[in-house]
Structure 1
């Protein structure tokens, strides 16, 4: 029989009865835990009808702080039957859903509550999904995409009729991206169905907490910020080479530090060894096993391109404590509680303070434990970045996340979803949408454009019936076409990536997937490293690469998109401070002390940048004239800055430039006999007329064309294909490119074209950071130093460019010869 509604639902001020709280306290005591003050405050706020954000260190019980509010509410009420959906728990990764489900079920089962806990993601079987369409469990763990799909059904109001609590796990991972915007729209719909719905976000590594809370709850909505004040110590240490090269280049240390890494692995029972890219993970996994083949059964590999079954097996063994080391990427950054892990290693620069702390928290993942991370540099200057990360972490300065504002491709997709979910009034839908942070400022022009786009395809596509997805009659929006409905449900979501090809053994067995463009450049017989194995490509059929175990050792390593990480602004500021202190003769951090010989040569041959200076080095060589500029704005911003500076200089001094970039600066090189003054450089780095000049110097139309592919998919202009018949990246790019050209020719004011341009500027070039760098340069004194040879800071940029050039000579041999020459001159 249905239970009577407890009074708390109407008043919002129910407090747990003593028996309920006693049972909860007894459960904590039975596990040897104490209830933290922030957990009690979160429960009280929930029971008082409040929403908010819980921010506490990793492993201190944020999930329990969010879960026990609804459980205490239940324990205080008269109900005894199994309730329908009361708690909706959103996780950013479907890979975390199984662990989250198990962690939530544990206290529910221990307390003997008649609640059910299930998950619904892209991995959920069809039989379970059909059953859940009739009745959802008491607690549902899901993703933004699966939640949006549930809202596309006509009876979704029935499914969510008893929903009390919405919990968004790892909110910082969604904030700032289109998936976060998608979730904002879903939340707005749920709040319109359940005005008393309480929403709680969870986060461990975030700076702008009030902003994050306000985005989650929507404009003008009050909310509580509950912070865990439990002190958690994070020890950030570095592995420093015995001999420090004075002329390093990116990745030159490679896996040469594997011997001391092996020693570090020996002293811990279980270690997570994080890399920044999947390619690097493959190489380090192989290097460790080459050094210690007796560890074959104790060292595992984990990254997002491996088959889900292989990753599940690794996680199970990790949880059981049967692995000495797991080499992983960000696939193990979040959420999963592996308490046996007692050490974390970070290969390469952490690139950001929050990223490093998130990974460090994977060790000692329990209340009161100390997290320790050992950083292994792949470049001498990465020691500066490690010291900078430690300084910022100790000062409590971590990066914030800025929310996206009004991406119209996401809005168009949501309008179709809502029209499909039983139909909706256009006026009511707009009111619902503008209750989100992302679309609070949505104007009539943008709204009318979106309606015209989903109903008639806009100005240019009106003649094509497939773009008439939504029917509007007297202000009522619906989707009557079953085929359009089916295609839309298969396309829901905002995750975009290069098409992936499955990797399978010729005789069966799936290993995972690699990006199509990597396989496209291989021919049968070529050998590559994947999943910790050497594989020989046998053949490619449709979107599957068939392989067999390789007998030759010479191999390639797949390169995946998304590997171009740039240092954060917070980290860059600390790096500049450390270099300025070195300029003044202060070397406090052990990493800076190890770099003294390198920095001494830099000062002797050129200078170390002062805080109020923009250092520019000029070198003449057989290649021509080089200018090395050091804004410390990160590699993405430097890509735009280098192209902008070269284009502006060429207008005044006709010349052809080549350039290279890294996180610290960029190089311009030309064979033309031109001499630049500080005034020339100041003009080239002016913030004036920035966007127009970037448009002209970067072929922004072509960059926008590539960005438009993802926008077109999200907005529903292109269809990725039915299950088992997915289109290739080339096919999608061709389809979206054709639509891009049509729109540019016949509908130049199409708002999706403008969005593509803005996304290129924001994502590909970090234009906000680029502009800030130019504004800083305008206020700084340009220090132009004419150098006789490459300096330690210039050398990595030169090596980066040499590596990108096609030459019959091995670039490594050429770089090695240059190192030998410079080392000799440094000793002179």
Structure 2
């Protein structure tokens, strides 16, 4: 079937014959159909798409302009693609080039003068092609668009933006779309992103996976050597031994914090580097190249390595802790034994009760192909605003109904009404981003600037470049949130420790050998899906039944995990022996102790987030004071609360009220504030330069309540963080008795078995240096002093605070609090509480009340431990601050 020159080019590249997948793709693509190719990692999908396109190009007499566009989600994949196909293209006389955010101006200018036949780019840079005079002209010749790793785009706003851009391209060119994807749960749904009538080519070639769940034995000897817990030492030894046995390995973790923490310890056992998105491009590329050359035993990575970046041969994948989703496990383990007919070998290293059960469930689901559905962002208003402005720039002036028709063709907007479209246009016109008059959309002077500033759909947070002063190299970036809450001077990055020397436009650091903090990066937690949590509940119930009927050994054997997984049967046995019901998929337990209630509910992150926030909202309304909520996929923790009142409220919730209650529950939270700020930036209502510290974000949310910005923020929360629909179903089942509820006045073993986070386990204890830096930071804080007797109000620096009476009237009743707050923000009784603390505990009370996140109640609890030595007192303050930072998103 192939052109002789193409056969020669492929042979020169080492491809002697096409696979069955590539032959089938060749036929479908050259028949002129839109195609979605679904096949496992390493099956040759890229070649399946490119070879027929090259064949078609060779048949063209003299191809002009850009004939094909190849879109990938990562710049690293752009580089990889170029490396893989450049040789074949040059042999055929086909010009191939890459264009993305890092492309030099000289290269861009050359592409504009003489466009390549095949352009490899990212979704964001694809947007810019429409606005250049020469490139726009070149786009009229596009005949093929390939979207690689489409599964990575469809459940994000980047995919929504790309789907509209493809419809804009259809206005000027007739082209075929070819989507490439790893295994997905609903192929027909994914194919709608490729084209309304796209054919699905799903390659069912047997890909063999060998995946085992392992709970390593403890190692006391290594624990002493590494200064870690014996369980962690056992996990580190198992990982190091597995890597040495199998050779090159990828060690996947779920968060960047865990990557850094693990890196510090594993570097003492094997040659390993850390790889994640907050490290500089140079650092990542250097790690990739060293791994490919065999200079490293392993790479510790996050989702940055899930996609098909070519880093050479991988023999083994280790997943540290549950991967949370079957689709992620398949993608990650598929990186080992890369290629058809080769076995993909992987271990899931699990530790806690939840982790072991969850990992066992996910491995089973992965092997049986039970993958999670993508969460699609239908009718995203901030992407719509972005694309309306793009159309205004592209056309100068465009009829609104025509613009609406273009947008509505994109799958995520298929149900967008003209009224909704018109509302967003009117709002954009009101804030000066477009002209909108008599049904026509037009560009204004600042439309271009707005568009370029908001071309990326990834949420903005200010990042600070981290520079090693000893080498002058950029090693990565830190989020504003980490720097604003960081209480020490030493932190971990790139699997190494650094001391902060200065913070201004960049963070200057030096390497150090000591203990330190792990940086926090926003929004990383992978949610456990409803289906997985439900199955974990079923597994719990089944194992509990086996323990009762046949004993612990039978249950351990049935679980099928390797190593010391006795924690699972031990916890279940204790649960049974102590007379508690085992909470499972259709049985909730509500348990309370010392004003803390744990609702054991196997509903996953999103349902528990929704239910937990609603319960906290209704409890707060009933009690008249704030109730904190913290969730994981199997528990909702509420405090202060009593089991009986939680049961009463839970059973009173009406399914039809869930959505409005969920909105009320998030309205006055940091989550909503953060989402509104991001949506406001995407709409151009706020500039990226606007410092958040100068904005009253709470007032901003109220001000924007009836605008598309607010509705977009709420929509994003409901898609990404909550599940209103499933929560309503759960509430209905509780009401009908289909889900059973048991109530206890103490906490059961399962309530207390919540998994520790890897960051908590691996983070080292506060060193003297950190204690000293923390105390110095508190000394420099400025507090507001308010006299309850004469109402005098003044500020004082903590280090000079020695007088514990009012400077005006001499009263001892002085309340002390953060200088950024005003007395009128407090209730009278809170002010009296604060004043009583200062009167009773003096300077210690001032230190406590100057600590980030510590209020009157927490301060009172800490100060009541009067027996604490000075260092222990400050350690307790650090721990309280850290705890607040970890849980503050749950505070209502």
Residue 360 (structure 1) aligned to one of 315, 322, 333: 333
Pick which of 694-703 and 659-668 moved more.
694-703
Q: Distance in 2 between matches of 1:274 and 1:798?
A: 18
SS at match of 1:535: strand
The answer on 1:668 being equivalent to 2:646 is: no
Aligned to 1:751: 708
Confirm whether residue 501 of structure 1 aligns to residue 459 of structure 2.
no
Is residue 35–residue 198 contact of structure 2 (8 Å, CA) maintained in 1? yes
Work out whether residues 185 and 373 of structure 2, in 8 Å CA contact, stay in contact via their aligned partners in 1. yes
1:385 aligns to 2:364 (yes or no): no
- Counterparts of 2:393 and 2:704 in 1: how far apart (Å)? 26
1:237 equivalent in structure 2: 212
Q: Tell me, yes or no, if the aligned pair for 1:505 and 1:547 is still in contact at 8 Å.
A: yes
Q: Judging changes above 3 Å, is the alpha-carbon distance between structure 1 residues 342 and 775 closer, same or farther for their aligned structure 2 residues?
A: farther
- 1:666-745 to 2 correspondences below 5 Å: 666-670=636-640, 675=644, 680=648, 682-684=650-652, 686-700=654-668, 703-721=671-689, 728=691, 730=693, 734=695, 740-744=701-705
Match of residue 450 from structure 1: 424
Matches within 5 A, 1:546-557: 546-551=508-513, 553-557=514-518
1:637 corresponds to 2:607: yes
Structure 2: stretches of 5+ with no match in the other structure: 221-228, 547-553, 762-852, 863-871, 881-892
| CA 611–503 in structure 1, closer or farther in 2 if over 3 Å, else same | closer
What pairs with 1:772-783 in structure 2 (closer than 5 Å)? 772-779=729-736, 780-783=738-741
Task: Give 1:165 deviation, angstroms.
Answer: 0.7
State the match for 1:72 in structure 2: 55
CA contact (8 A) 1:337 1:362 kept: no
Q: CA deviation at 1:332?
A: 0.9
Q: Kindly provide the CA deviation profile for residues 676-722 of structure 1, in whole angstroms up to 9, marking residues without a partner as x.
A: 596x265145424112223334444764332111112222222324x
Change (3 A) 1:190 1:814: closer
Worse-matched range after superposition: 34-43 or 46-55: 34-43
User: Do the aligned partners of 1:42 and 1:226 also contact (CA within 8 Å) in 2?
Assistant: yes
Specify whether residues 716 and 159 from structure 1 end up closer, same or farther in structure 2 by C-alpha distance, changes over 3 A only: farther
Quick one: which of 75, 85, 88 aligns to 1:94? 75
Distance 1:323 1:572, change over 3 A: same
Q: Measure, in 1, the Cα distance between the counterparts of 2:570 and 2:93.
A: 67
Q: Choose from 41, 51, 61 the match for 2:34.
A: 51
**Cα–Cα, structure 1 residues 230 and 728, in superposed 2: closer, same or farther, change >3 Å?**
farther
User: 1: distance between equivalents of 2:30 and 2:668?
Assistant: 52
TM-score (norm 2): 0.78
Residue 265 of structure 2 is matched in structure 1 by 287
Q: Which residue of 2 aligns with 1:263?
A: 241
Hey, what's the Cα distance between the residues in 1 that align with 2:504 and 2:315?
44
Q: Distance in 2 between matches of 1:95 and 1:21?
A: 27
Query: Shift of residue 22 of structure 1?
Result: 5.0
Match of 2:598 in 1: 628
Kindly indicate whether residue 167 of structure 2 is the aligned counterpart of residue 188 of structure 1: yes
1:105 Cα offset (Å): 1.9
Deviations 1:635-666 (A, max 9, x none): 34323312322443566688874443221121
TM-score by length of structure 1 reads: 0.83
Matching residue of 1:602: 575
Corresponding residue for 2:529? 568
Match of 2:866 in 1: none
C-alpha separation between the residues in 1 aligned to 2:103 and 2:696?
31
1:584 is matched with: 545
Counterpart selection for 2:203 from 228, 238, 244? 228
Matched position secondary structure for 2:322? coil
The equivalences for 1:15-54 within 5 A come to 16=1, 19=4, 23=8, 26=11, 30-31=14-15, 34-54=17-37
Distance 1:326 1:685 in 2: 48
| CA distance in 2 between partners of 1:147 and 1:788 (Å) | 58
2:749 aligned with 1:771: no
Partner of 2:482: 518
- Structure 1: distance between partners of 2:426 and 2:135: 26
- Contact 2:217/2:235, CA 8 A, preserved across alignment: no
CA distance in 2, matches of 1:799, 1:657: 23
Aligned to 1:794: 752
CA-CA distance at 1:121 after TM superposition: 0.9
Q: What is the alpha-carbon distance in structure 2 between the residues aligned to residue 44 and residue 500 of structure 1?
A: 48
2:717 counterpart (760, 778, 783): 760
In the superposition, relative to structure 1, how do residues 135 and 630 fare at CA in structure 2: closer, same or farther (>3 Å)? farther
For residues 98 and 279 of structure 2, the distance between their equivalents in structure 1, rounded to whole angstroms, comes to 22
Matched with 1:824 is: none
Q: Flag the 1:782–1:171 CA change in 2: closer, same or farther, 3 A.
A: same
SS at match of 1:529: strand
Choose between structure 1 and 2 for higher RCO, CA contacts under 8 A separated by at least 6 residues.
1
SS of residue paired to 2:655:
coil
Given the superposition, is the C-alpha separation of residues 152 and 256 from structure 1 closer, same or farther in structure 2, using an over 3 Å criterion?
farther
Q: 1:607 to 1:39 in 2, by over 3 A?
A: farther
Question: Residue 355 of structure 1: CA displacement?
Answer: 0.5
- Distance in 2 (alpha carbons) for counterparts of 1:604 and 1:108: 70
**Alpha-carbon distance change, 311 to 612 in structure 1, aligned in 2, over 3 angstroms:** closer
Residue 143 of structure 2 is aligned to residue 164 of structure 1: yes
**Which of the residues 118, 123, 132 maps onto 1:139?**
118
Contact 2:273 2:494 in 1 (8 A): no
Q: Contact (CA 8 Å) 1:583, 1:608: kept in 2 or not?
A: no
Matching of residues 431-510 of structure 1 within 5 Å? 431-454=405-428, 456-457=429-430, 467-472=431-436, 476-479=440-443, 481=445, 483-506=446-469, 508-510=472-474
SS of the residue corresponding to residue 193 of structure 1 reads coil
The match for 2:65 is 84
Contact 2:529-2:606 within 8 A present in 1 as well: no
Q: How does 1:352-431 map to 2 (within 5 A)?
A: 352-426=325-399, 427-431=401-405
2:294 to 295, 318, 321: 321
3-state secondary structure, aligned to 2:348: strand
Conserved 8 A contact 2:211-2:348: yes
**Deviation string for 1:488-519 (max 9, x for gaps)?**
32331211142111001235221110111212
Q: Any idea what the Cα deviations from partners look like across 1:433-465, whole Å, max 9, x if unmatched?
A: 1211122222221222222233x32xxxxxxxx
Measured in 2, the distance between the counterparts of 1:738 and 1:813 equals 31
The alignment's C-alpha RMSD in Å is 3.3
**Structure 1 CA distance for aligned equivalents of residues 484 and 755 of structure 2:** 30
The alignment of Structure 1 onto Structure 2 pairs a total of residues equal to 749
C-alpha distance in 1 between matches for 2:84 and 2:708: 44
CA distance in 2, matches of 1:422, 1:681: 55
Q: How far apart, in 1, do the equivalents of 2:587 and 2:440 lie?
A: 59
Instruction: Give the distance between the partners of 1:788 and 1:412, measured in 2 at CA.
Output: 52
**Shift in alpha-carbon separation, 1:614–1:264, aligned structure 2, 3 A:** same
